[in-house]
């Protein structure tokens, strides 16, 4: 498939919601990935695209669908309720595709054109691991220590405890890193 056909197909692709487009630099480039190693090819494809974007020195928002159900649901909704397998790259709200499409565009020299004007990594400090999460973008909830449960005293009996779901963390007992995701 020629580069022009790939570009035409991808520009007809799915668009992100308008509110996300308006958030500016943070959502200029979004990469949906998974850190689950269950299917080796999927995990390796995610790593290849992440490495490619880092080597091109562009800033991107990585959304790990295995760590946060909201990201998985967001990706599912972007594809009209169809199951889709990461990685998926979006540039300025347009789905560029998965690993094969992105790597093909890069090999043809078209990916740089699509990334023109994207926010770039300007210093080595941008490559340093986050002190809050070590670049995992999530950390263990400090309220429930990752258990997802909080104990509370029953209103009618001061000696009777019961557990409630922690309101701060996600389904894995994680919260978004306040340092690198703000």
Each residue's pLDDT, cut to its tens digit, for the chain (182 residues) gives: 344 444 444 443 444 444 444 445 557 999 999 999 889 999 999 999 999 999 999 999 999 999 999 999 999 999 998 889 999 999 999 999 999 999 999 999 999 999 999 998 876 655 678 888 888 889 999 999 999 999 887 666 666 777 899 999 999 999 999 888 76
Do 50 and 115 lie in a common domain?
yes
Do 77 and 143 lie in a common domain?
no
Instruction: Please state the separation of Cα 4 from the chain's center in Å.
Output: 27
Backbone dihedral angles phi then psi of residue 32, each to the nearest 5 degrees = -90, 125
Q: Which residues contact 57 (CB under 8 A, 6 or more apart)?
A: 120, 121
- pTM of the full structure: 0.74
Per DSSP (E only), the strands in 14-165 are: 29-33, 61-64, 88-91, 94-97, 138-140, 149-153, 161-165
On whether residue 59 sits in a domain, the answer given is yes
On whether residue 153 sits in a domain, the answer given is yes
Residue 75, both tokens = 């990706």
Full domain range(s) for residue 16: 3-127
Do 114 and 146 lie in a common domain?
no
**Cα 176 from Cα 154, distance rounded (Å):** 30
Closest Cα to residue 14, out of 75, 66, 102? 75
- How many structural domains are present in the chain? 2
CATH code of the domain covering residue 55: 3.40.30.10
**Cα 111 from Cα 101, distance rounded (Å):** 10
């Amino acid at each position: 498939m020629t580069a022009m056909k790939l570009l035409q197909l991808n520009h007809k692709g799915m668009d992100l919601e308008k509110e996300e487009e308006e958030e500016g630099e943070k959502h200029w480039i979004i990469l949906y990935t998974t850190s689950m190693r269950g299917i080796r090819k999927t995990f390796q494809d995610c790593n290849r695209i992440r490495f490619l974007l880092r080597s091109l020195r562009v800033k991107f928002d990585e959304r790990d669908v295995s760590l946060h159900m909201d990201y998985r649901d967001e990706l599912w909704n972007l594809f009209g309720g169809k199951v889709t397998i990461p990685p998926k790259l979006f540039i300025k709200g347009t789905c560029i595709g998965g690993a094969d499409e992105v790597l093909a565009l890069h090999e043809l020299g078209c990916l740089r054109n699509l990334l023109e004007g994207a926010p770039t990594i300007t210093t080595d400090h941008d490559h340093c691991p986050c002190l809050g999460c070590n670049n995992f973008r999530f950390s263990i909830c400090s309220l429930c220590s990752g258990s997802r449960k909080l104990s509370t005293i029953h209103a009618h009996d001061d000696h009777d405890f019961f557990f409630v779901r922690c309101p701060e963390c996600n389904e894995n007992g994680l919260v978004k890193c306040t340092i690198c995701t703000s």
